[in-house]
Structure 1
Amino acid sequence: MNLTVTKYERVWIEGLNRGDVSVADEAFAPDCVIHIAGAPEPNISVSAFKELVAGLLTAFPDLQITVEDQIIAGDKVATRWSAEGTNTGPLGDSPATGKRAKFGGLILDRVVGEQVVERWEQWDQMGMLQQISVIQ
């Protein structure tokens, strides 16, 4: 296993757990394309991704993300993650509910050097919204 491949993931997750989305500039190549299943725009830039993540961190300022599993094959890194936090800020047009949510997701990154050049991501958005009672 080449541990330098996952350095970007440690930088990214540790930054998110501090509430710092600016670490995306270190973890992702400037021209990285990020594909998020279920997002309003499924193919986004790093700056758009930072805005989405900042919105999530506004809604869940205590959000903590844990890498549960990681598999490396060539220039691809597959990561299974979980997250938990309390909805104490607005999520889009929905006011804070004060409820906790635990959810998870899967990421497949293509890495060149120590930066992500392309990401495919799926996570349990529906489950998170149900847990904080934004939807039934």
Structure 2
Amino acid sequence: MVERENIQLDNVFHALGDPTRRQMLQALADGERTVSQLADPFAISLAAASKHIKTLERAGLIRREVRGRTHLCRLEPGPLASAHDWLGFYQRFWTERLDILERLLRQEDAGKSPQPPKTETPEGDEK
């Protein structure tokens, strides 16, 4: 079970690793799109767009439905939640580390005594 989850997560991050696929997902967040509509904003062929869509399907991020000759794609957000959960661990990890660093820096600042400001003599020399 854990191995299957790891493969799914690997597929999600692989799919999200490409800017074209991320933009396709973003477009699908607004509603269903045909393969042609997903390919339109890019200078790619329908075959190339189809490869990107298959990668997104393999990751479970979209579902494709065939209606006659039209292929409609729909966003499936579930796998994004898994990626978000995985990343959440690291967000907590870094937040805790940065909170500790902030606390240490505040303690260090509180322990330093303020130094008196430098004053100048009438001749322009510092004391």
Task: Tell me, yes or no, whether TM beats 0.5.
Answer: no
TM-score, with length taken from structure 1: 0.24
Q: Larger Cα Rg: Structure 1 or Structure 2?
A: 2
TM-score, with length taken from structure 2: 0.25
Which structure shows the bigger proportion of residues in strand conformation? 1
Which structure shows the bigger proportion of residues in helix conformation? 2
